């Protein structure tokens, strides 16, 4: 059985014999600017620290063809295979029954990641780099408004870029925050938990040292879209942030819409 996960390029595969495994399939296209190799490197770095899946041998898939639509045979032949993380992704139905425990687990997961000391192999990303990237994506016409929060789906991507630049001077006047190790695409489907205990991350091609609100804004956007805004206090409390900066949250949530 081939199960697409909530993060692009990731599938869970249950072969006829043997344990379930994860497949990272290169579905590169013009709107995927980060190369697959960046994710493979980041996954190895996280696996060494207990927060990422480990590479494994390709399973015996037999004659069962992958579903359509989906990756073609050539893409599957070049898939990278990983041992399945314990538990389930946070957006899976198995985790939705955890209630407030899920929010607490997500907060602990992001805090655990942010507390990891980054070495020289992990790049640092500046805000100017992120703004340049979203500007290039909008100019190239590869931003899909269907992925926006419902309230923004009728808004032209360039208007969101204009909003970012309008918020930028306000953001720059805020009290600075210490850069930390960030995921860079911190959505529910990227975080795995077992009975509310964090077990790892996938979708880490943008792993970098940056403003922690890069992840906090993205996760707030993901949580609000999935569960509603009432889910946010439990997440922030578990993360250890009693008064999140609303300007930073809004700025990075907008940025996440465009990446």
Query: pLDDT higher for 1 or 29?
Result: 1
How high is the pLDDT of residue 146?
86
DSSP 3-state of 105: helix
Q: Where are the alpha helices (DSSP H) in 1-92?
A: 36-48, 73-77
What is the structure's pLDDT at 77?
82
Q: Is the pLDDT of residue 29 over 70?
A: no
Q: Which are the contacts of 166, defined by CB distance < 8 A and separation ≥ 6?
A: none
> Where does 89-258 sit in CATH, by number?
3.90.1200.10
Which phi and psi (to 5°) does residue 198 adopt? -60, 135
Tell me the sheet residues that pair with 10.
24
Question: Does the predicted model carry a pTM greater than 0.95?
Answer: no
In the chain, domain spans = 2-85, 89-258
Q: What distance in Å separates the CA atoms of residue 184 and residue 212, rounded to the nearest whole number?
A: 10
Contacts for 13 with CB less than 8 Å, ≥ 6 apart = 1, 2, 3, 20, 21, 22, 23, 59, 61
Q: Give residue 34's pLDDT band: very low, low, confident or very high (50, 70, 90).
A: very low
Q: Given a cut of 70, is residue 145 above it in pLDDT?
A: yes
pLDDT tens for 108-131 read: 999 999 999 999 999 999 999 999
For 48-107, how does the pLDDT look when each residue is reduced to its tens digit (9 = 90+)? 999 999 999 988 776 555 665 577 777 788 899 999 999 999 999 888 777 789 999 999
pLDDT digits (tens, 9 = 90+) for 150-197: 888 899 999 999 999 999 999 999 999 999 999 999 999 999 999 899
Predicted confidence at residue 30, as pLDDT, reads 43
Query: Of 218, 215, 209, 195, which Cα lies nearest the Cα of 102?
Result: 195
CA distance 243 to 152: 25
DSSP calls for 28-49: --TT--S-HHHHHHHHHHHHHT
Residue 234: predicted pLDDT: 96
User: 194-212, pLDDT tens digit by residue?
Assistant: 989 999 999 999 999 999 9
How remote is the C-alpha of 78 from its chain's centroid? 23
DSSP 145: G
State the pLDDT at residue 31. 44
- β partners of residue 2: 13
């Amino acid at each position: 059985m081939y199960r697409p996960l909530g993060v692009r390029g990731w599938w869970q595969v249950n072969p006829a014999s043997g344990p379930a495994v994860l497949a990272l399939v290169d579905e590169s296209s013009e709107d995927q600017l980060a190369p697959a190799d960046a994710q493979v490197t980041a996954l190895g770095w996280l696996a060494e620290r207990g927060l990422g899946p480990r590479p494994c041998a390709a399973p015996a898939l037999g004659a069962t063809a992958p579903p359509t639509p989906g990756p073609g045979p050539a893409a599957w032949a070049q898939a990278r295979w990983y041992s399945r993380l314990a538990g389930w992704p946070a957006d899976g139905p198995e985790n939705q029954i955890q209630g407030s425990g899920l929010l607490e687990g997500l907060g602990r997961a992001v805090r655990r990641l942010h507390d990891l000391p980054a070495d020289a192999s992990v790049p640092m990303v500046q805000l100017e780099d992120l703004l340049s990237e979203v500007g290039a994506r909008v100019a190239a016409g590869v931003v899909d408004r269907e992925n926006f929060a419902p309230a923004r789906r009728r808004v032209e991507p360039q208007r969101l870029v204009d909003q970012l630049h309008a918020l930028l001077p306000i953001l720059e006047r805020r009290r600075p925050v210490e850069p930390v190790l960030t995921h860079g695409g911190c959505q529910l489907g990227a975080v795995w938990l077992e009975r509310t205990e964090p077990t790892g991350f996938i979708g880490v091609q943008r792993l970098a040292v940056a403003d922690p609100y890069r992840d906090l804004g993205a996760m707030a956007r993901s949580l609000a879209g999935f569960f509603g805004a009432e889910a946010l206090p439990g997440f922030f409390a578990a993360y250890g942030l009693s008064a999140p900066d609303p300007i930073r949250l809004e700025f990075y949530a907008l940025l996440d819409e465009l990446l």
